[in-house]
Amino acid sequence: APVVVAIDGPSGSGKSTVSRAVAARLGLSFLDTGAMYRAMTWWMLTNGIDIDDADAVSIACAKPVIVSGTDADGPTITVDGVDVSGPIRGPEVTAQVSAVSAVPAVRARLVELQRGCAEVAPRGIVAEGRDMGTVVFPAATAKVFLTASPEARAGRRAAELRAKGVDEATIAAMAADLTRRDAADSSRATAPLVRAEDAVLVDTSELTLPQVIDAVVELVAE
């Protein structure tokens, strides 16, 4: 069976960075499922869909064509052929993505796309998000749940934004959003953010990135 590595955890725990590095090391594809929820949210905002109207979101979510490029050396994401890798990281999408991703029809559609990506990955895939181990790939080869203290996670996100030249007011707003999103993602009815019973918990608060990457590569090799 093809290799599937499922990596879940809250925002800023290191999922994207670690998953990409593990995929590159092992010659596997890489899938950032958060980018897909962000792309769906970007499309809703761009097309004037009322995010607070779950029925409107349910109907509209069938429309956008979302394509994820799964090369670990340069993942891409397009919506209706438009590269949205920049705008999906902005504060507008970040503020609304938890609401969009709580809508069951949105999840059903994106889960199907995610499984399709795994099926066509030539050597297997490292997929990261909130429900990889619990819902999307319950039979994954290896499951990891990354965590870190709220302080460490917020600090990493802030450092990342600062390096990009983002202003301090926006950084503070995005930090507040991170706490709110974690609470929303963990308490929603459909596919809440929880550790799968068989996922290995890795607390990255006191670990360097190379240490976390090595630990995950070892878990896959087991």
Which region, judged by CB under 6 A, interacts with ligand CDP, from 45-53, 54-62, 65-73, 125-133?
A: 125-133
According to DSSP, the β-strands at 142-147 and 29-32 are unpaired
CA dist list (Å): 195 to 8, 11, 137: 7, 14, 13
Which region, judged by CB under 6 A, interacts with ligand ADP, from 22-30, 71-79, 167-175, 207-215?
A: 207-215
Residue 9 binds ligand ADP (CB under 6 A): yes
Residues 31-50 contacting ligand CDP, CB under 6 A = 33-34, 37-38
What binding mask, one character per residue, do residues 169-198 give for ligand CDP by CB under 6 A, x or -? ------------x---x-------------
Give the nearest distance from C-beta 45 to ligand CDP in angstroms: 14
Residue 12 binds ligand ADP (CB under 6 A): yes
b/e for 109-139, b at 16 or more Cβ within 10 A? bbbeebeebbeebeebbbbbbbbbbbbbbee
Residue 44 binds ligand ADP (CB under 6 A): no
Residue 98 binds which one of ligand CDP, ligand ADP, none, with CB within 5 to 8 A depending on kind? ligand CDP
Q: Are 43 and 79 in contact (CB under 8 A)?
A: yes
Q: Which of 4, 5, 6, 11 binds ligand ADP (CB under 6 A)?
A: 11
- For residue 136, give the nearest of 147, 150, 125, 146 by alpha carbon: 125
Total residues interacting with ligand ADP, rule: CB under 6 A: 16
Q: Are 58 and 108 in contact (CB under 8 A)?
A: no
Cα separation of 156 and 93, whole Å? 19
Cα separation of 77 and 85, whole Å? 6
Q: Which residues bind ligand CDP (CB under 6 A)?
A: 11, 33-34, 37-38, 97-98, 101, 129-131, 181, 185
